[in-house]
Amino acid sequence: MSTYRRITVGDEGGVSLVRFVDKKIVDSGSIEQLGEELNALVTVEKRNMILLNFDGVDFMSSAALNKLITLNNKVKAAAGRLKICGLRAEIKEVFTITRLDRVFDLRKSEADAIEAFKL
């Protein structure tokens, strides 16, 4: 298992539960590192059932959205599923404005998202 600086990774019934270390995901260097760590989950660790929990993230720049899109594509290519939960209203609005709410499976709570993996 890899060591990460921008995320923590746990396991919940076969689902990789990812939480973010930073409250604000804005710095370009941090976003690049975050992207590398997220991609390593799929390419190195071969995880393909991933839940990104944004509880504790107060702000995220639009540059970070590109990393999420790339991750989503990698997960789909690995025949997996990606879900997102715990979005603050302000961050969820960005997903809605950019229509990424149609691309990503957004869930209100971690429990709801984990249950959705079972369907």
Q: What is the mean pLDDT of the chain?
A: 95
Cβ-contact 54, 87 below 8 angstroms: yes
Give 58-91 pLDDT, tens digit per residue: 999 989 999 999 999 999 999 999 999 999 999 9
Termini Cα distance of the chain: 27
- pLDDT of residue 1 exceeding 90, the answer is no
**Domains contained in the chain, CATH given:** 7-117 (3.30.750.24)
- Please name which of 112, 116, 118 lies closest in space to residue 87, comparing C-alpha atoms: 112
Cβ-contact 21, 7 below 8 angstroms: yes
- pLDDT of residue 3 exceeding 90, the answer is no
Position 46, amino acid? K
Q: Is 117 helix (H, G, I), strand (E, B) or coil?
A: helix
DSSP 45: S
Give 7-45 pLDDT, tens digit per residue: 999 999 899 999 999 999 999 999 999 999 999 999 999
